Amino acid sequence: MMTLFEEIVTLTEPYLGPAAHRFVSRQIAFHFNKPPEELEPGDLPELADWASATLSLLTDDQKLVKEYSHEILMLAGSHE
């Protein structure tokens, strides 16, 4: 069974490819001050906001950014 962190990385790979693991790890470490393995479902709405803000710096495609954020939030709903 995948950890929540691994699920987020898998969800991120279509957007960032091999950089997904590093991207998600850094988002969690910087914004939550905890190791990725300690990510909790309650963290996902805030993670969606931070990750979307960061992804917006990398692309002008706001549809893609909203889609990514939505996928993170859907994952949060599946872990309630």
Domain that holds residue 21: 4-78
Quote the number of domains for the chain: 1
Residue 77, pLDDT > 90, answer no
CB atoms within 10 A of CB 5: 17
Residue 79, pLDDT > 90, answer no
37-59 mean pLDDT: 94
- Taking alpha carbons only, the member of 5, 11, 9, 10 closest to residue 70 is 11
**Whole-model pTM?**
0.90
